[in-house]
Structure 1
Amino acid sequence: MFGTIAKLDKQAFQYIFALSEHREWLLLARKISKIEDGPFYCIFSLTLLVSHARGGELFSLALAAFILELPLSF
C-alpha cells in the first residue's frame, strides 16, 4: 500500500515539475504565492467579520493565524 502511495506521489511530483517548464504555469504559481502576502487575509477576514453570524470570532481566529503564519513564511 505504501509503495503505491509513494509511486503516486512521485508521479504527481514529476507531473507538477514538468508543468514548471511552461512560462504560463510559472507566472500563475507566482501569483498564487503572493496571496499569502496579506491583502487576501485582510479581505477574507473583513468579509467574515461582516457576513457571518460569528464573524467576530472568525475574524479573531483569522487574525491570529495570519500573525502566526507571517513570521514562518519569512
Structure 2
Amino acid sequence: MNDEAREWTVLHFSQSNPTGEGQGDVAALLRHMANSLDDLGDVQVQDLTFSSAVTDGEDDLTMTVYYHREPRRR
C-alpha cells in the first residue's frame, strides 16, 4: 500500500460545561478538558477544536480533542 492510500483512525471526545449558570465559563471548560487529558495518560493530541453556540442564557461552549493512543513525541 502506498502512502497516499494508507488509512488511520483518530480517537476523539467532546466536553461542555453543565447547562445553566457557569455554562459560558471558558476557563472552567479548559480545566475540565486538561483533567480529562491527564486521565488519558500519555497520548498524542492531534487537534483541538472549540465552539460556542448562542443560547438564551450563557453561551454553550464545547471542546473536542482528537488524539492517538501513542506516546507523545518528545
Give yes or no for TM over 0.5: no
TM-score normalised according to structure 1 size? 0.32
Higher strand share: 2
Query: Which of structures 1 and 2 has the larger relative contact order (alpha carbons within 8 angstroms, sep 6+)?
Result: 2
Structure with greater Cα Rg: 1
Higher helix share: 1
TM-score normalised according to structure 2 size? 0.32
